[in-house]
Amino acid sequence: MTRVVQKYGGTSVASPARLRRVARRVRDAAAGAQVVVVVSAMGETTDELIALAHSVSTDPPSREMDMLLSSGEIITAPLLAMALEAAGTRAVSLTGPQAGIRTSRAHRTARIVDIVPQRVLDELDAGKVVVVAGFQGATEELDITTLGRGGSDTSAVALAVAVRAQRCEIFTDVSGVHTADPRLLPEARVIPVITYEEMLELAAAGARVIHPRAVEIGEAYGMEIRVRSTFDEHPGTTIRSVANANMEERQKVRGIAHETDVAKVTLLGVPDSPGVAASIFGPLADEHIAVDIVVQNVSHAGTTDVSFTVPESDLRRAQQMLDGVAKQVRASGFSATADIAKVSVVGTGLRGTPSVFAQIFRALAEAGINIQMISSSEIHVTCIIDRARVRDAVRALHAAFELESI
Amino acid sequence: MTRVVQKYGGTSVASPARLRRVARRVRDAAAGAQVVVVVSAMGETTDELIALAHSVSTDPPSREMDMLLSSGEIITAPLLAMALEAAGTRAVSLTGPQAGIRTSRAHRTARIVDIVPQRVLDELDAGKVVVVAGFQGATEELDITTLGRGGSDTSAVALAVAVRAQRCEIFTDVSGVHTADPRLLPEARVIPVITYEEMLELAAAGARVIHPRAVEIGEAYGMEIRVRSTFDEHPGTTIRSVANANMEERQKVRGIAHETDVAKVTLLGVPDSPGVAASIFGPLADEHIAVDIVVQNVSHAGTTDVSFTVPESDLRRAQQMLDGVAKQVRASGFSATADIAKVSVVGTGLRGTPSVFAQIFRALAEAGINIQMISSSEIHVTCIIDRARVRDAVRALHAAFELESI
């Protein structure tokens, strides 16, 4: 019998009416397969719980925060099981620990160490849909942990691997992985098939539809992932290894991603000597500030300018450190701006295709968009541009690679 | 070192401000003792979760309901632990299952089978306050259960027994067990010491301040229970076995209880033959309708009237059955009214003191209150009266036994 894992995010289960809708979808799937469902907390529940914690403590211990946050999914899971039973489908809900999800002890950012799925398998064999609370697990000591960002996606793909499911379906509020953000560009299309690697690049470049951690597990274990909408019947996007895709029909450029939570810092007049980079980026790393793109121009008269991007949400913390850093590396000063955005072209083998670079630069130039910084890899080209021009840049690149007609 | 268990009910933890207040009380207690805290769900949380369940299912399975309801206490416990840490007291929260509370499989009305308190003891020995989610436990299969009415009181006293605490303190929104309901009778006084047996009778007669299940466990294991207020410093009421109380100063009558969730049914003209009672009360028992007081008058011409009380909340269901029951026992008909209330005088050795009966009847007569039914035991006398006269009856009896001056 086919076995599938389905994951429904917070928007999909935000109200009793939506839970009943999800129950109908699950019931239909369960007519022809064994189904494990992984659920997130309803709507804004997690944010509300975090606010509650901060109302009793300025610095809540992570262990206690995890126990508190786990309640969100412990509410959704039995509610969906009840809705399934009401729809005539036998169902049972399990907490993450009950489902055998064992994690590291890193509270709030725990990693799945192992899954012992015996209880899940027993319930499936008893003919039930198993609804598992996502985003949570337990340490060896049975302390409750949460998996951090993308936690429920990660629970779902890891469970799919553990129960040897045929595929893992991630249900969300969009119809699949798009060639660009459909809220920005209405003509963006759903990509039917994409490789794990391409999906990881798209996610890293700003696409939010599935978390990279989940894609990495899918890639490591060869688990097929399907991203689709709770609210329509579109077949969505299948994420799988390249070997399975139709190689003849594949395009080099798969999608355009963008990211606006980004800021640029430039250290001016830095003496161009060994160890300078370590002096700059070591302190930032110690503060867990994620530096993304780094550009260093050729040196003039023994000094150079070093520019890099950080999440805009970390800019204030970064600036607090940069006075000291600038002094230490004997820079003449630094500048910072949050008025920028990243726009990325993602595909396979871009470096082997110089014309792609030419097409990108031409498209942006014709749209009158200045490129402030560039970074590229085998499968992405990212340009830093003026934030006000993001929509224009995405549209220009989407059109240049004819993504509206895939 | 002294070891105490404290339990805080839903009203005591209803808001972040109240949680911080509870944290200060617990911190003060923890300065001189090892403290285990048992908490209920915040305010109306449990009722809200039940409403949520009924919004997705007309008949939610009990197992799923238990998992859903368990989230209420799983929210309070870490929040209190956070508030304690913020107040400078080391604390750790545990779910009922983590605290080793093993129960029967009777979902929604589970009974505690055993407590394996190793984790609780380890954390106490590590110098922490242990905050346990009340009202919940787990079966042998690790399914989450809830303990039904009075569940958190029961968790607290059972944990006190399991960790060999010196006493269990039940914190609530009144200053202790009163000689009558203080909302009804402002002159009611806090009873300083009361026996388990008397407390059970008061609770059975309508006093809501602690659940009888918890008192029964206290009695069975000789665990001293103290009932006191979260919101003032009154020493409250100590519940313990009679051997410890000061026998010389004890009064026979300890308090006046009342109950308005009560209705009266009378089957008229019932043939007075063997097996009639079984025919009447068997079907009611099968429907879990709790019959309380039963009065059968002497028979006239081979028929008699049988009156009994049921909770008003069950009256509609009882009436639906009584047409059939009346036919089966060949009664001439039945009447029902919810316009009544129970008023009870509770004390020790009342039967051995006929003057108590006389005092009761005289007090009610002087207040012009008619007694519709009477029931008595060694330690209570209950009168069924007109509901409109409850306050007058409580006041008259309270005054007759001079309870305002204890």
* pLDDT at residue number B247: 52
* pLDDT at residue number B248: 47
Cα B247 from Cα B264, distance rounded (Å): 38
* pLDDT at residue number B351: 67
pLDDT-wise least confident of A246-260, B13-27, B188-202: A246-260
pLDDT level of residue B251 (50, 70, 90 thresholds): low
Query: What CATH number is given to the structural domain containing B301?
Result: 3.30.70.260
* pLDDT at residue number A217: 94
- CA distances B180 to A109, A333, B202, B261, B367, Å, are 53, 77, 10, 17, 17
Closest C-alpha to B71, from B42, B98, B92, B91: B42
Calculate the average pLDDT of chain B.
91
Q: Is A62 on the interface with B (CB under 8 A)?
A: no
Cβ <8 Å between B49 and A75: yes
Question: Structurally, how many domains does chain B consist of?
Answer: 2
* pLDDT at residue number A243: 52
∠ CA(B251), CA(B192), CA(B24), 5° rounding? 170
- Do B310 and B318 contact (CB within 8 A), yes or no? yes
Tokens encoding A197:
């690697």
B37 within some domain: yes
What is the reported pTM? 0.84
B252 within some domain: no
* Nearest chain A CA: its distance from B238 CA (Å): 31
Q: Is A101 on the interface with B (CB under 8 A)?
A: no
* Beta-bridge partner residues of A355: none
- Say if residue B33 is in the same domain as residue B139: yes
Residue B329 has pLDDT above 90, yes or no: no
Residue B387 has pLDDT above 60, yes or no: yes
* pLDDT at residue number B352: 67
- Say if residue A154 is in the same domain as residue A10: yes
Query: What CATH number is given to the structural domain containing B54?
Result: 3.40.1160.10
Q: Is A57 on the interface with B (CB under 8 A)?
A: yes
A187 within some domain: no
* pLDDT at residue number A38: 98
* ipTM at complex level: 0.81
Residue B342 has pLDDT above 50, yes or no: yes
The amino acid that residue A252 corresponds to is K
- Say if residue A144 is in the same domain as residue A20: yes
* pLDDT at residue number B401: 92
Write out residues in chain A with pLDDT < 70, as ranges: 243-251, 298, 349, 351-352
A388 within some domain: no
Per residue in A275-307, pLDDT tens?
Answer: 777 888 888 888 888 888 888 776 777 888 888
Domain enclosing residue A90, as ranges: 3-173
From A23, A71, A98, residue closest to B71, measured CB to CB: A71
* pLDDT at residue number B249: 47
DSSP three-state, residue A252 = coil
Share of chain B above pLDDT 70, in %: 97
- Do A393 and A340 contact (CB within 8 A), yes or no? no
From B115, B146, B173, the end of a domain falls on B173
Average pLDDT over residues B254-283: 87
* Nearest chain B CA: its distance from A311 CA (Å): 30
Give the residue from chain A lying closest to B55, CA to CA.
A16
Cα B7 from Cα A65, distance rounded (Å): 22
Give the residue from chain B lying closest to A52, CA to CA.
B16
The amino acid that residue B331 corresponds to is A
Beta strands A373-377 and A101-103 are: unpaired
Residue B161 has pLDDT above 90, yes or no: yes
Q: Is A52 on the interface with B (CB under 8 A)?
A: yes
DSSP letters for A361-400: HHHHHHTT----EEEEETTEEEEEEEGGGHHHHHHHHHHH
User: Could you report how far apart the first and last alpha carbons of chain A are, in Å?
Assistant: 34
A406 within some domain: no
* Nearest chain B CA: its distance from A104 CA (Å): 18
Cα B39 from Cα B76, distance rounded (Å): 7
* pLDDT at residue number B44: 94
Per residue in B65-122, pLDDT tens?
Answer: 999 999 999 999 999 999 999 999 999 999 999 999 999 999 999 999 999 999 999 9
Order of strands across the sheet with A101-103?
A112-115, A101-103, A136-138, A144-146
Cβ <8 Å between A65 and B82: yes
pLDDT level of residue B130 (50, 70, 90 thresholds): very high
Cβ <8 Å between A86 and B53: no
* pLDDT at residue number A250: 54
* Nearest chain A CA: its distance from B317 CA (Å): 24
Q: Is A246 on the interface with B (CB under 8 A)?
A: no
Residue B242 has pLDDT above 50, yes or no: yes
Average pLDDT over residues B239-251: 62
Best residue of A75, A76, A135 to probe chain B, by most B CBs closer than 10 Å: A75
Cα A377 from Cα A180, distance rounded (Å): 19
Question: Which residues of chain A lie closer than 8 angstroms to B75, CB-CB?
Answer: 49, 52, 68, 71
Q: Is A82 on the interface with B (CB under 8 A)?
A: yes
* Nearest chain A CA: its distance from B201 CA (Å): 37
Average pLDDT over residues B268-295: 82
* pLDDT at residue number A249: 47
